[in-house]
Structure 1
Amino acid sequence: MQTPTILVIEDDTAIRNGVVDILQYAGYQTIEAADGHQGMKAALECSYNLLLLDVVMPGPSGFDILEALRKKRPGQAVIMLTARGEERDRIHGLTHGADDYVVKPFSMKELLARVDAVLRRSCERVQNNQTVQLSHATIDFKHSKILFPSEEETHLSEKEAQLLQYFTQSENRIVSKAELLQHVWGLQPQHTETRTVDVHIMNLRQKLRDSQQQLITTARGKGYQFHPNAQL
């Protein structure tokens, strides 16, 4: 299992550095952003398992980022960080898709406990999402196969299933080959030269009957993009 990556969006430098340091000490990988503009870009484009999101900061607020995130990546795990303790803010965050809410000042021990709990729940959500419906087929991750309306089925190799599941968790977002190598194969892309990603993509397209490359598109020079609502 890959080490979870946590994105920290916080404009207070001291708080951000403290959170990042304790997360790295606890064994997590981290990405950080210092304001709402950087945060919005990172939240929508980076690959991570959990977002720690400040509410009030320059540029888009944490609530703005949360709203945009829910439209593009509805299953993303999020913990809100804020100095506000008002009940209406907690309710706003939780009703708009945040998994938890931590009011500043908070202890690092408390934060780590909440991070661990939300990551556990998000892993359970992924595991429970055993089927994904496409326009022309159903992906059955529990049995590693693709089911078609004609009752035909195509089996997936273990790595093909892992790759396809990663795509379903990153739908409509461009995913680079380097990201796939790191998160699906567990390889360090800067030290790896391989065509294994391209070969697996080719095999997946064939098994998904995506001959026109509408379901898995190629973003030249950037990577691949998965479109679950594509009409094949």
Structure 2
Amino acid sequence: MICEPTILVAEDDASVRQGVVDALTMSGYQVIAAKDGQEAMEYALTRNYMLLLLDLVMPHHSGFEVLEALRQKRKGQPVIILSARGEEADRVKGLTMGADDYVVKPFSVRELLARVDAVLRRSSERSVSTPEYCFEGGKVNFDKRVVLYEDGRKDELSERESDLLAYLVLNAGRPVAREEILRQVWGLDPKGLATRTIDMHIAHLRSKLADSQQQILQTVRGKGYMIS
């Protein structure tokens, strides 16, 4: 089953949170809701999602603390700040810390959905436009989907191999779970799905990267796959 993008909503105001959840759900998105900073921190670092809508002022952990944790452990994660009017300095700080955009409360459903669509579109373009990845002995050109070796040989990548490697490169330094790969690269709901296709594609990539010792594409036991 093809899944719509999953969005994490972190907002401690119950009425605002429910309104956002309802608007996103009505638009076809999968939604995870966090009711305070503690849930926001936990879900932001452990759940599989494409975009985080993040309130800055929450109990237990502020939005800034969540942004800092993401910057350390989940680089490149798209985030839209939900900000109260008059918090310009906070919005600037949030953008400086890596947020992609902000929406000022109170906001209209139309504006929120437009900004969500824009950030998802940009993040999708960013994830597939990684031009090259260099490794010992060669480099990968993602535009041409080809591995170019230093000795002049080359090997082609399938579209799925290229997308998988690009996603791992985009998330370099972080173990990426099989469930996340199925959601974000294959567009599949991993719940109840048993498949060996990821292992097969990882094996093909290791062969094409001459990575028999798994120095490039590492298996992190119990967590997934990682490019360091």
* TM-score of Structure 1 vs Structure 2, range by shorter chain: 0.7 to 0.9
> What amino acid maps onto 2:84 in structure 1?
A
> What amino acid maps onto 1:45 in structure 2?
T
CA distance in 2, matches of 1:189, 1:37: 26
CA distance in 2, matches of 1:127, 1:199: 21
Shift in Å, 1:60 = 2.4
- The answer as to whether partners of 2:175 and 2:220 remain within 8 angstroms in 1 is yes
In the TM superposition, 1:70-81 aligns within 5 A as: 70-81=71-82
Q: Which residue of 2 is the match for residue 101 of structure 1?
A: 102
| Residue 164 (1) aligns with residue 165 (2) | yes
> What amino acid maps onto 1:78 in structure 2?
V
In the TM superposition, 1:189-204 aligns within 5 A as: 189-204=190-205
Secondary structure in structure 1 of the residue aligned to 2:191? helix
CA distance in 1, matches of 2:76, 2:134: 16
CA distance in 2, matches of 1:77, 1:184: 16
Secondary structure in structure 2 of the residue aligned to 1:190? coil
Q: Which residue of 2 is the match for residue 146 of structure 1?
A: 147
Shift in Å, 1:191 = 4.1
| Residue 54 (1) aligns with residue 55 (2) | yes
CA distance in 2, matches of 1:37, 1:151: 52
In the TM superposition, 1:1-232 aligns within 5 A as: 3-134=4-135, 136-227=137-228
Q: What percent of counterpart residues are identical?
A: 54
- The answer as to whether partners of 1:55 and 1:63 remain within 8 angstroms in 2 is yes
CA distance in 1, matches of 2:160, 2:70: 28
Report Cα offsets for 1:112-157 as digits up to 9, x if no partner: 1211222222233234322233455322111112223333322211
> What amino acid maps onto 1:183 in structure 2?
Q
Shift in Å, 1:56 = 0.8
Q: How many residues align?
A: 227
Q: Which of 67-76 and 200-209 deviates more?
A: 67-76
Normalising by structure 1, report the TM-score: 0.86
Q: Which runs of 5+ in 1 are unaligned?
A: 228-232
Q: Which of 134-143 and 55-64 deviates more?
A: 134-143
Secondary structure in structure 2 of the residue aligned to 1:159? helix
> What amino acid maps onto 1:33 in structure 2?
A
> What amino acid maps onto 1:177 in structure 2?
R
Q: Which runs of 5+ in 2 are unaligned?
A: none
